[in-house]
Amino acid sequence: MPRAMWKGAISFGLVTIPVAVYPATEEKTLRFNQLHDEDGGRIRLKRVCEKDGEEVSFEHIVKGYEVEKDRYVVLTDEDLNAIPVESSRAIDIHRFVDLDEIDPVMFKKSYYLVPEETGAKAYALLREAMADDGRVGVAKVSFRDKEHLAALRFKDEAFVLETMYWPDEIREADFGGVDVSAKIRGQELEMAKQLIESLSGEWNPEEYADEYRQALLQIVEAKLNGQEIEVVAPEPTAKVVDLMEALKASVAAAKKQADEPAPSRKPAAKKPATKKKASAKKPAAKKPAARKKAVGE
């Protein structure tokens, strides 16, 4: 198990349950390093003062809040620690509500709450009570220099803390002047409902995979093995002007797919086209100055 990122207690009424907080998710995004194209060296970013051009070490960096252009109020750790926040070491439950009352757009990040040995029974008691009741706890908690609004629910016998955006952080939908109140014909609405019905099914997250990441890994492996990547032009998308015709074609395609037998296993991501580098010797040419090359050049 990874190291706990925060320790505190679930608090509701006069009951406290000591817990440790662990991230419930991890991103699988491939990350690239920036390299110098001349010699393959890593590009390093430095913290430089814009006034004197000198690099600044961490011990000489402070936090500043910009109150107007180029005017800052400097805040020290002592200033931040002096803020009277009741939720600094507690997940303070204020209310229990139905989960469907919370708009999913408010959810930010998920964390597992693991009980300390002394709080295991109270942890199980609250979990069972919430399971029977079917509601989630709305709480406030402070960690990582910020107070969070959060929802407390359970998943697979464990409590999950869902941090949420504050109401004033949620933007209103802005269509940029586009009129979305167009009159809809009954036939169009019925056809759209048919399309939704034909694409309906049970939610199974295992059916989905990040095909872009898989293809990117295959490209990395191919270049590592000395293969060249052939750029495959995407298939042109047919332009459909008539909405009704587009709906009819979509319903027909969905029905055809539903009639096909389900594959025994999930198909692998489509591999990018590759070709081996030619092995024939070319006439010798004047060599440029030697330089270090990065893998994949």
pLDDT digits (tens, 9 = 90+) for 83-140: 877 667 899 999 999 999 999 999 999 999 999 999 999 999 999 999 888 899 999 9
What is the structure's pLDDT at 284?
45
285: exposed, middle or buried (C-beta count within 10 Å: 0-12, 13-18, 19+)? exposed
Say if residue 90 is in the same domain as residue 226: no
CA 23 – CA 146 distance, rounded (Å): 17
What is the structure's pLDDT at 135?
92
Backbone angles phi, psi at 75, to 5 degrees: -115, 130
How high does pLDDT run on average in the chain? 84
Residue 179 located in a structural domain: no
CA 71 – CA 68 distance, rounded (Å): 5
Q: CB–CB of 150/163 below 8 Å? A: yes
Overall domain count for the chain: 2
| % of the chain residues with pLDDT over 70 | 84
Is residue 66 over pLDDT 90? yes
Q: Which range (64-73, 75-84, 191-200) has the least confidence?
A: 75-84
151 CB-side CA count, 13 A: 23
Residue 87 located in a structural domain: yes
Backbone angles phi, psi at 287, to 5 degrees: -80, 135
- As a whole number, mean pLDDT of residues 129-158 equals 90
Ranked by mean pLDDT, which of 59-73, 184-198, 216-230 comes out on top?
59-73
- What's the DSSP call for residue 276? E
Residue 55 located in a structural domain: no
The sign of the dihedral angle between the CA atoms of 182, 187, 193, 195 is negative
Considering only CA atoms, which of 202, 219, 203 is closest in space to residue 269? 219
Q: Which range marks the domain in which residue 127 is found? A: 6-28+82-167
What is the structure's pLDDT at 276?
52
Is residue 277 over pLDDT 70? no
Pairing of strands 90-98, 63-68: unpaired
Which conformational region is residue 176 in: left (phi greater than 0), alpha (psi within -120 to 50 degrees), or beta? Answer: left
How many other CB atoms sit within 10 Å of the CB of residue 216?
A: 16
- Final residue of a structural domain among 144, 167, 190: 167
Maximum Cα–Cα distance across the chain: 85
Residue 129 located in a structural domain: yes
Q: CB–CB of 6/20 below 8 Å? A: yes
Say if residue 13 is in the same domain as residue 94: yes
Say if residue 228 is in the same domain as residue 123: no
What is the structure's pLDDT at 138?
97
Is residue 257 over pLDDT 90? no
Tokens (6 digits) for 263: 């594959």
Tokens (6 digits) for 243: 């909405």
